Amino acid sequence: MNLLIIGGVGGAGLLIFGFLAFVFFIFWVVTIIDIVRSNFKDPNMKLIWILIVIFTNPIGTIIYWIIAPNQKSKNFNRFN
């Protein structure tokens, strides 16, 4: 039944789709890790960015890497 949805996509198409899905998943995980480890100017932005990235895949992930660098705190203290 599930193969009916895929239609005429052959094995190579499924392999490419699977590879792209895996690459995006890794990119998504790296984004979540970056959000958790970063210090933002506003403490609430960490939670807001996590929610945006989780609920608006893949657009939220791309938007994060475009907008968030300007919102991060410049003075990073690892033991803070």
| pLDDT tens figures, 34-64 | 999 988 888 899 999 999 999 998 899 999 9
- Is position 5 within any domain? no
pLDDT higher than threshold 50 for residue 14: yes
Helix (H, G, I), strand (E, B) or coil at 72: strand
* For range 63-70, the mean pLDDT: 90
**pTM, to two decimals:** 0.73
Question: Domain range for residue 63?
Answer: 11-71
Residue 31: inside a domain = yes
Domain count, the chain: 1
